[in-house]
């Protein structure tokens, strides 16, 4: 199954209500959608997301650049392709933008594999379950009043959820405790309740809060301190009975290994769009098995279902409704459990008709096209060693190509060319702001 092209598209999807956490104020979510076309009549789909959307431009560019080198490759060779891209990004780094791009491409490759073979990805990876418990993560925000928290928790119960996550980070840690106690009282002792501080605390604050929260019986205390503070996480994990969860901002197994070695996490939370795609998520999941640690995916609810269906120690899904608008299909729930889709590939197809109105940049098809060949004139010139002055005497004017004009038309010998037109300098039109700066400019 040969890869015939890679396409990308960026969308900025507004949220129905702003999301406020200890460190976020989120109004919309930007996505880079990735399409891997093949000669097997299937297209693999992947995506990555960015908060805020103005960072999409470099993410899309890196995805297109990496994708360009995949044209002609066998799409089934996900392991080989992963390592090729890993080597390719060595200089720019094995974290950040390159890993987002690698993750989205890997996701799309697995989707293509599944579609070509007529199998859901979890079966290609070695299936272990039909459904997975899901916790509702799309609420119980820091911005809610205590009464609103209680009402929302009861709504989640009515919807069938048996697990949910609230946020921590009020200036007075006693208020966090009161809010957590209120939610626990509302849902009862048998519901799994997690709490996420979104990296907003320091170790001393987190320790006092964590100790006071022990009677609330949280399933986990998530990212109590900044993600890079591995020692801080380890100190809290040692001091508290409540399990510590972290890892959503880590990249690859090389990011998770130090967390495990430092005993900094009781629950690992790989993010499919950051960790290195399906391929690397599986590696982290298997590595965690060697320490008997559970993993629970961070966001990417829809595609992560396939990982929950393939890893025995990945037995709790974060359900966040944000990305539901991306897809034609919805997650199916039954008694608080999310069904692992049996549809081929990742099991969710991008709803391009609905997404068109959220489009923020031009679809980049550059990656699908092979790099233009050098003009024949130059090749011949090298061979026959013509006088170098000739090339210098006729600088190629930079002008916008006419529609239908052949890129290499100048290579053909013919009558003397007309005087070169004056180069037209592209000027930014007044009021025309690049799409990736538009939100900032408008809000300024």
8 A C-beta contact, residue 8 and residue 36: no
As given in the structure block, the two tokens for residue 298 are 């961070």
Report the residue number, 121 or 193, with the smaller CB distance to Mg ion: 193
Give CA–CA dist 362/202, Å, rounded: 42
Shortest spacing between CB 198 and Mg ion, in angstroms: 6
Shortest spacing between CB 352 and Mg ion, in angstroms: 29
Task: Provide the mask over 186-215, with x wherever binding to Mg ion is found by CB under 5 A and - wherever it is not.
Answer: ----------x-------------------
Shortest spacing between CB 16 and Mg ion, in angstroms: 20
Task: Provide the mask over 139-178, with x wherever binding to Mg ion is found by CB under 5 A and - wherever it is not.
Answer: ----------------------------------------
Report the residue number, 143 or 312, with the smaller CB distance to Mg ion: 143
Closest C-alpha among 155, 137, 128 to residue 320: 137
Q: What are the φ/ψ torsions at residue 91 (nearest 5 degrees)?
A: -70, -40
Report the residue number, 52 or 58, with the smaller CB distance to Mg ion: 52
CA 30 to chain centre: 10
Does position 250 interact with Mg ion (CB under 5 A)? The reply is: no
Q: What is the DSSP string of 7-75?
A: EEEEEEEEEEEEEE-SS-EEEEEEEEEEEEEETTS-EEEEEEEESSGGGHHHHHHHHHHHHHTTTTSBT
Report the residue number, 18 or 434, with the smaller CB distance to Mg ion: 18
Report the residue number, 196 or 280, with the smaller CB distance to Mg ion: 196
Report the residue number, 19 or 64, with the smaller CB distance to Mg ion: 19
Report the residue number, 152 or 196, with the smaller CB distance to Mg ion: 196
- Nearest-CB residue to Mg ion? 196
Q: What are the φ/ψ torsions at residue 319 (nearest 5 degrees)?
A: -100, 110
Shortest spacing between CB 176 and Mg ion, in angstroms: 15
Contacts of 77 (CB under 8 A, 6+ apart): none
Shortest spacing between CB 299 and Mg ion, in angstroms: 8
As given in the structure block, the two tokens for residue 248 are 């959503």
- For the sheet containing 43-50, what is the strand order? 3-20, 25-38, 43-50
Give CA–CA dist 439/167, Å, rounded: 27
Shortest spacing between CB 327 and Mg ion, in angstroms: 22
Give CA–CA dist 421/10, Å, rounded: 36
Report the residue number, 196 or 229, with the smaller CB distance to Mg ion: 196
Sign of CA dihedral 322, 327, 328, 330: negative
Shortest spacing between CB 250 and Mg ion, in angstroms: 12
Shortest spacing between CB 280 and Mg ion, in angstroms: 19
8 A C-beta contact, residue 343 and residue 306: no
As given in the structure block, the two tokens for residue 316 are 């709790």
Report the residue number, 176 or 196, with the smaller CB distance to Mg ion: 196
Shortest spacing between CB 174 and Mg ion, in angstroms: 23
Classify residue 271 by its DSSP letter: B
Judged by CB under 5 A, the number of residues near Mg ion is 1
8 A C-beta contact, residue 281 and residue 310: no
Q: Which residues bind Mg ion (CB under 5 A)?
A: 196
């Amino acid at each position: 199954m040969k890869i015939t092209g890679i396409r990308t598209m960026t969308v900025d999807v507004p949220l129905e209500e702003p999301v406020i956490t200890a460190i976020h104020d989120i109004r919309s979510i930007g996505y880079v959608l990735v399409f891997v076309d093949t000669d097997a009549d299937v297209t693999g789909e992947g995506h990555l997301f960015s908060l805020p959307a103005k960072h999409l431009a470099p993410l899309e560019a890196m995805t297109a650049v990496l994708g360009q080198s995949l044209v002609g490759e066998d799409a089934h060779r996900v392991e080989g392709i992963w390592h090729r891209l890993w080597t390719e990004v060595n200089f720019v780094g094995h974290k950040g933008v390159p890993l987002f791009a690698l993750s989205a491409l890997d996701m799309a490759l697995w989707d293509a594999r599944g579609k070509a073979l007529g199998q859901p990805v979890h079966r290609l990876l070695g299936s272990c379950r039909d459904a997975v418990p899901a916790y509702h993560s799309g609420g119980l925000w820091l911005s809610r009043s205590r009464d609103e928290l209680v009402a929302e928790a009861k709504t989640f119960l009515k919807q069938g959820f048996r697990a949910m996550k609230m946020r921590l980070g009020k200036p007075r840690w006693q208020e966090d405790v009161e809010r957590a106690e209120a939610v626990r009282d509302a849902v009862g002792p048998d519901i799994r309740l997690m709490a996420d501080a979104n990296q907003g605390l320091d170790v001393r604050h987190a320790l006092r809060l964590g100790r006071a929260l022990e009677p609330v019986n949280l399933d986990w205390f998530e990212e109590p301190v900044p993600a890079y503070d591995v020692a801080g996480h380890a100190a809290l994990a040692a001091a508290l009975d409540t399990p510590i969860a972290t890892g959503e901002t880590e990249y690859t197994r090389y990011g998770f290994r130090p967390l495990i070695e430092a005993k900094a996490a009781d629950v690992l939370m790989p993010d499919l769009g950051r960790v290195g795609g399906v391929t690397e998520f599986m590696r982290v999941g298997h590595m965690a098995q060697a320490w008997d640690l559970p993993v629970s995916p961070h966001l990417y609810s829809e595609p992560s279902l396939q990982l929950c269906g393939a890893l025995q120690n990945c037995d709790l899904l974060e359900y966040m409704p944000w990305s539901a608008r991306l897809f034609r299909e919805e997650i199916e729930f039954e008694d608080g459990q999310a069904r692992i889709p049996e549809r081929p590939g990742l099991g969710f197809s991008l709803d391009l008709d609905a997404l068109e109105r959220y489009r923020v940049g031009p679809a980049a098809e550059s990656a699908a096209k092979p790099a233009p060949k050098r003009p024949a004139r130059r090749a011949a010139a090298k061979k026959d060693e013509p006088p170098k002055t000739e090339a210098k005497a006729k600088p190629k004017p930079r002008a916008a190509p006419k529609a239908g004009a052949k890129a290499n038309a100048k290579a053909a010998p013919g009558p003397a060319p007309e005087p070169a037109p004056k180069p037209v300098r592209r000027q930014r039109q007044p009021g025309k702001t690049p799409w990736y700066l538009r939100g900032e400019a408008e809000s300024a």
